[in-house]
Amino acid sequence: MSVRTLYEYAVVRVVPRVEREEFVNVGVALYCKKFRYAEFLFHLDELKLKALYANVDIEEIRKHLESFQKICAGDKSYGKIANLEQAERFRWLTANRSTIIQSSAVHTGLCISAEETHAELMNKLVL
């Protein structure tokens, strides 16, 4: 029998014009202590973003999301935050911000496979 394990996740969104509070979900950050899993998956839907703000800089957003991804994975070349423990990196990345890239509140669940659950959340919440 497979044992379910606690995981935490947050939906990451792009808010092209913070003052309007409109956003597009672009990714999911997932952390599972037992499986030592901390990853961020993302997909940019350029048409949706441009519908909210025609002048949005897609490449700049992509660079920020790629940095978010590298920090979440613990790529040591991405500075002090990337060198923190997994839980600390996840908490830092999912902290409340009033910037173009924001995350939802952190939610919890139980999984058998962090990778499979992450893919399911991406399909349900982003794609």
The pTM (predicted TM-score) of the whole model is 0.95
Helix (H, G, I), strand (E, B) or coil at 98: coil
Provide the number of structural domains found in the chain.
1
Q: pLDDT tens digit string along 61-77?
A: 999 999 999 999 999 99
Domain that holds residue 99: 5-125
Render pLDDT for 98-122 as a digit per residue (tens, 0 to 9). Answer: 899 999 999 999 999 999 999 999 9
Rounded CA gap, 120 and 109, in Å?
Answer: 12
Contacts of 9 (CB under 8 A, 6+ apart): 28, 29, 30, 31, 106, 107, 108, 109, 118, 121
